[in-house]
Amino acid sequence: MIKISHLVKNYGNFTAVDDISFEVAKGEVLGFLGPNGAGKSTTMNMLTGYLSSTSGSIKIGGVDILDDPLNAKRLIGYLPEQPPLYPDMTVEEYLSFAYDLKNCKLNKEKHLREICEVVKITDVYKRMLKNLSKGYKQRVGIAQALVGNPPVIIFDEPTIGLDPKQIIEIRNLIRTLGKEHTVILSTHILQEVQAVCDRIVIINKGKIVANELTENISRAVENTRRFNVKISGPQRDVLAMLRNLPGICYAEVLAARDGDAYTYMIESEVGIDVRKKLFWALAERKWPLIGMEALGMSIEDIFIAVVDKTAPEGVQRPKKKSRYEGVRAAEEKEVAAGIVEKTVKDQENASYDEESSDSAYYEDHSIKEDTFASEDKTEEKK
């Protein structure tokens, strides 16, 4: 649905986007992730035709944004980082303005009403934009992007500045939209992409350093082998028991102490999940298990490792606290190295080669028009 090939953007001597290539499949929700200043907004502004590229090509549904900007833009709804809201307009006036601007052909009143229901702004429809809370303003921005029911939706940091409850609401909304649309969502919040995206592309200093399915990343970071366990009982005996428990290949006391409870780091043999056995062994000896924490890698670890791997020499991540974390860091680096290596190869091999499935886009656009129930269906219900 979206194909970016060897895209470059220079601001004077500075290269903000440096030869990036990736594709977004129809119906996919892609998380475009990267630290501040990585080039996310620049890329999105080129994708949506707000900014011209220095070189490279962008195709939306087979339409080149440079050759045929009008038709390409018609396929896109865009929520920029700073949505252009006019404070003295009411929500109704603003959406009506967006409708006219996009030269939309759907039944106006009905279409706008449906959008307001989807993004939950019906109750503020007659209010002025300047009087709305940040969360509502953001939703109005999203509503504006949905006018005309474009098949591709691009959101630049949609949850920035929102409170935790609003963030969850916007995420749910994006998840809903993702069922019917192709979505690109930029963010520097990692949980966000893990929660809603099918695929994650990480950009750093203008280059793509990772491009992987979310489930593959989650699998890579999964770990049921190393745990910190907090056990109340005589330290020496507990440690001896842990070391002798079949399936555990390593156990060690960590410094942390809480009353008569100590924290131990244990590692099980490959392919063995010792948690249940450990629980029963402790119960038998009447040593209460106070806590258990898996020492898996988080997606943050992977992100930092991937970004670090591509950082210039001399930029070091902060030193890890304990020596066990050294083991983890090595593992993260290995996973990160795998992701980066694969991505670099993909970037090099990315071609300009055209069309293929994309050009068929116009033919099946009709399916997408159902996103907001058509006039006729509503009539039938009455």
Q: Which is nearer to ligand ADP, 5 or 42 (CB)?
A: 42
* Distance (Å, whole) CA 65 – CA 48: 8
Q: Which is nearer to Mg ion, 156 or 212 (CB)?
A: 156
Nearest distance from C-beta of residue 186 to Mg ion, angstroms: 7
Q: Which is nearer to ligand ADP, 12 or 259 (CB)?
A: 12
* Distance (Å, whole) CA 268 – CA 131: 57
* Distance (Å, whole) CA 110 – CA 376: 12
Nearest distance from C-beta of residue 39 to ligand ADP, angstroms: 4
Q: Are the CB atoms for 18 and 206 separated by under 8 Å? A: yes
Q: Which is nearer to ligand ADP, 21 or 41 (CB)?
A: 41
Q: Are the CB atoms for 85 and 94 separated by under 8 Å? A: yes
Q: Of ligand ADP, Mg ion, none, which one does residue 16 interact with (CB within 5 to 8 Å by kind)?
A: ligand ADP
Residue of this chain nearest to Mg ion (CB atom):
41
Q: Which is nearer to Mg ion, 41 or 194 (CB)?
A: 41
* Distance (Å, whole) CA 246 – CA 237: 16
Nearest distance from C-beta of residue 17 to Mg ion, angstroms: 12
Q: Of Mg ion, ligand ADP, none, which one does residue 11 interact with (CB within 5 to 8 Å by kind)?
A: ligand ADP
Nearest distance from C-beta of residue 201 to ligand ADP, angstroms: 12
Q: Are the CB atoms for 20 and 207 separated by under 8 Å? A: yes
For 96, 148, 213, 317, the CA distances from 151, given in Å and listed in that order, are 20, 9, 21, 40
Nearest distance from C-beta of residue 47 to ligand ADP, angstroms: 12
Nearest distance from C-beta of residue 282 to ligand ADP, angstroms: 48
Q: Are the CB atoms for 278 and 310 separated by under 8 Å? A: no
Place of tokens 């300047």: 130
Binding residues vs ligand ADP (CB under 6 A): 11, 14, 16, 34, 36-42
Q: Of Mg ion, ligand ADP, none, which one does residue 37 interact with (CB within 5 to 8 Å by kind)?
A: ligand ADP
* Distance (Å, whole) CA 30 – CA 212: 10
Q: Of Mg ion, ligand ADP, none, which one does residue 207 interact with (CB within 5 to 8 Å by kind)?
A: none
Q: Which is nearer to ligand ADP, 66 or 160 (CB)?
A: 160
Sign of the Cα torsion 108, 113, 118, 122 reads positive
Nearest distance from C-beta of residue 14 to ligand ADP, angstroms: 6
Binding residues vs Mg ion (CB under 5 A): 40-41
Q: What are phi and psi of 28, to 5 degrees?
A: -85, 145
Region for residue 185 given its phi and psi (left: phi exceeds 0; alpha: psi -120 to 50; beta: otherwise): beta
Q: Which is nearer to Mg ion, 41 or 214 (CB)?
A: 41
